[in-house]
């Protein structure tokens, strides 16, 4: 019997009525001869509400205890969905991360999945039960509850599909993956399929449909991931390895933007071959993601270094930087949008970058920082220029 692992996001289980609709959808798939495993997120805005509740007690909640609180949202959703399925005459069982041995490592709030034990899940499937899993959570080596970070239920679902040799379906409040956010560009096109590599770049650069680690897991183990509308009939998007023979005719697949970063510049650092690595190592040791690094040419034995980090890490990061530079030489730019153009076709064509920069120059869009890979170009621009940049580039590349 084929195993299907489905994941339903918070908007899909936001109310008891929506939970009943999910239960009906899952039952229909089971009746077609499938073994069903369902991963659920917390209901609606529950996670935000729990964070707010914790901050009502402490401005900086203890990370271990915060993970304990946040994990309860998914537990509630999973139990309610199991109840709904049972009420419709089908057998179901809900499990927490502890009950399926979801082992994690790393920091509280952004832990990594190490392994999971499928014995209990397999036994329940063999008993013809629909298995409901609380996503987003795991248990570390000390037996503590940890969470995987926002969107971690996607990662839970893909990890289960890998271990169960099943297929993975991610259901949310959008009907597919688009070339760019339709709310920013109303002519954005729906993608029938997208390559793992492209989706991984888009997800890590601000496209919020998929969690980057879930795409990475799918790519590593060759598990195609279907993304579609919860309980909808519209065909979604398949994330898989795409053998596109016409890459050169369409170098750009999509655009992603993010307003969740800040740029930090450190002026007048002593020219030292170890200085950049020392700063990066100190920041990286606190699990702070550095991106868009740039360094000026040496002048009188001094260099300037700029890089971007997530906004939420600004306090911790600036504290670290002060051990390398005086406060007067540290500058923070909060007015940035990371604008990224992604496409496997860029590997074989060189015109995409020049076209984009020409558009920016002609329309007075200033570029503050640039970073590139084989399949993407990312620029830091002013936030007020985001909408104009999206529309110009999407139109130019027929996205």
pLDDT digit string, tens, across residues 301-360: 788 888 898 888 888 888 888 888 888 888 999 999 999 999 888 887 778 888 899 999
Residue 20: Cβ within 10 Å count: 17
Tokens, residue 366: 């200033």
- Asked if the model's pLDDT at residue 270 lies above 80, the reply is no
pLDDT the model gives residue 244: 58
Going along the chain from its start, the domains and CATH numbers come out as 3-173 (3.40.1160.10), 261-333 (3.30.70.260)
C-alpha closest to that of 157 among 39, 319, 315: 39
Tokens, residue 244: 């596109």
Reduced to 3 states, what is the DSSP secondary structure of residue 134?
A: strand
In tens, the pLDDT along 67-83 reads 999 999 999 999 999 99
- Looking at per-residue pLDDT, the higher value among 163 and 277 belongs to 163
Mean pLDDT of 166-185: 88
Starting at the earlier edge strand, list the strands of the sheet with 225-229: 92-95, 130-134, 35-40, 3-8, 167-172, 225-229, 237-240, 193-195
CA distances from 326 to 264, 318, 321 (A): 13, 11, 9
Task: Identify each DSSP E strand in the chain by its residue range.
Answer: 3-8, 35-40, 92-95, 103-105, 112-115, 130-134, 137-139, 145-147, 167-172, 193-195, 225-229, 237-240, 254-258, 261-270, 291-295, 302-310, 330-333, 337-342, 367-373, 376-381
Which are the contacts of 241, defined by CB distance < 8 A and separation ≥ 6?
Answer: 195, 196, 219, 222
33, exposed or middle or buried, with CB in 10 Å at 0-12, 13-18, 19+? exposed
Q: Are strands 145-147 and 137-139 parallel, antiparallel or unpaired?
A: antiparallel
Q: What band does 113 get if pLDDT is binned at 50, 70 and 90?
A: very high
In tens, the pLDDT along 177-206 reads 888 888 888 888 989 989 999 998 888 777
C-alpha to C-alpha distance for 170 and 149, rounded to whole angstroms? 17
pLDDT the model gives residue 277: 79
């Amino acid at each position: 019997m084929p195993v299907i692992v489905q994941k339903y996001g918070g908007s899909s289980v936001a109310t008891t009525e929506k939970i009943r609709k999910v239960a009906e959808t899952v039952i229909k798939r089971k009746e077609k001869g499938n073994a069903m495993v369902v991963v659920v997120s917390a209901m609606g805005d529950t996670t935000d509400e729990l964070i707010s509740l914790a901050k009502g007690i402490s401005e900086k909640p203890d990370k271990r205890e915060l993970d304990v609180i946040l994990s309860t949202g998914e537990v509630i959703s999973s139990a309610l969905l199991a109840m709904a399925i049972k009420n419709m005459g089908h057998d179901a069982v809900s499990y927490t991360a502890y009950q399926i041995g979801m082992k994690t490592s790393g920091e509280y709030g952004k832990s990594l999945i190490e392994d999971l034990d499928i014995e209990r899940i397999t036994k329940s499937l063999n008993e013809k039960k629909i298995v409901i899993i609380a996503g987003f959570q795991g248990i570390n080596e000390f037996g503590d509850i940890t969470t995987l970070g926002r969107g971690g239920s996607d990662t839970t679902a893909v990890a289960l599909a890998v271990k169960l040799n099943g297929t993975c379906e991610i259901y949310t409040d959008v009907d597919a993956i688009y070339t760019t956010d339709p709310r920013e560009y109303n002519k954005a096109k729906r993608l029938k399929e997208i390559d793992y590599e492209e989706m991984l770049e888009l997800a890590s650069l601000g496209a919020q449909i998929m969690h980057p680690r879930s795409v990475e897991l799918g790519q590593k183990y060759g598990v195609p991931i279907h993304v579609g509308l919860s309980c909808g009939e519209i065909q979604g998007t398949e994330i898989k390895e795409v053998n596109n023979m016409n890459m050169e005719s369409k170098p750009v697949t999509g655009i992603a933007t993010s307003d969740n970063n800040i740029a930090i510049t450190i002026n007048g650092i002593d020219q030292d071959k170890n200085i950049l690595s020392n700063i990066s190592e100190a920041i990286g040791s606190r699990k702070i993601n550095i991106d868009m690094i740039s360094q000026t040419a040496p002048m009188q034995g001094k260099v300037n270094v700029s890089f971007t980090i997530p906004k939420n890490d600004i306090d911790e990061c600036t504290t670290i930087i002060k051990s390398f530079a005086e406060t007067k030489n540290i500058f923070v730019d909060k007015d940035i949008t990371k604008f990224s153009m992604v496409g496997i076709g860029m590997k074989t064509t060189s015109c995409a970058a020049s076209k984009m920069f020409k558009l920016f120059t002609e329309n007075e869009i200033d570029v503050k920082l640039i970073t590139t890979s084989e399949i993407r170009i990312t620029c830091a621009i002013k936030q007020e220029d985001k909408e104009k940049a999206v529309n110009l580039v999407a139109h130019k590349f027929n996205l």
